[in-house]
Structure 1
Amino acid sequence: MNIQNLSIASLLAVITLSGSPLFAKENKEPPAYEYGMPLDIAHAIRIEVPSSQVCEVVRAKMTYVDTQGEIRQVSYLQQAEACSIQ
């Protein structure tokens, strides 16, 4: 293995390891809603519901702005869209 290949491999390893905390933050699941949990929703931004071909319970995710102006997320359970079609 020559010095150029070793340098490239080292650079890729450093980039991969330094970037992993950034990706970990993006993949973090939002807290799951529990009955009685206080929610401070001033404005809903987006609601994401996974698509499903069968009638089942799916985990949806809501992104919202609270009254302090912070963007937050919460996940919750709901019936899939396929349930309303049947």
Structure 2
Amino acid sequence: MNNKSIVAACLFAALNICTLSARAEADVTPKTYTYGTHLDIQKVISLKQDNATTCGIVNARMTYLDSAGLTQVLDYSKFADCHNDN
């Protein structure tokens, strides 16, 4: 095999791994947080929240890896990240 074939094969493998992880995250069913829910969070991947025009409660979503390395998604409510100039 020549160098171009090796580079192309490595690039193809890397793209497949990235696509596989994106599909795995899309297949995860979100869980809704309730008081007392046991959280097994090893690493937070992303935090998102609804856009808020005023300070108050908004819906938020956390995507994370648990201690087994599995992707989990948690929906919860939180106070909006608002900044007052007062």
Distance 1:42 1:33, change over 3 A: same
- Higher helix fraction (1 or 2): 1
* Structure with the greater alpha carbon radius of gyration: 1
| TM-score for both structures, normalised by structure 2 | 0.60
Q: After TM superposition, give the deviation of residue 85 of structure 1 in Å.
A: 2.4
Partner of 2:21: none
Q: Does 1:44 align with 2:49?
A: no
Q: Could you list the runs of 5+ residues in structure 2 that have no partner in the other structure? A: 1-25
| Aligned length in residues | 60
**Residue identity matched to 2:36:** G
CA contact (8 A) 1:51 1:81 kept: no
**Residue identity matched to 1:85:** N
**Structure 1 runs of 4+ off > 2 angstroms?**
none
Distance 1:29 1:72, change over 3 A: closer
CA contact (8 A) 1:40 1:66 kept: yes
Distance in 2, matches of 1:67 and 1:79, equals 27
Partner of 1:85: 84
Q: After TM superposition, give the deviation of residue 80 of structure 1 in Å.
A: 1.1
How many percent of aligned residue pairs carry the same amino acid?
31
Q: Could you list the runs of 5+ residues in structure 1 that have no partner in the other structure? A: 1-25
CA contact (8 A) 1:31 1:74 kept: yes
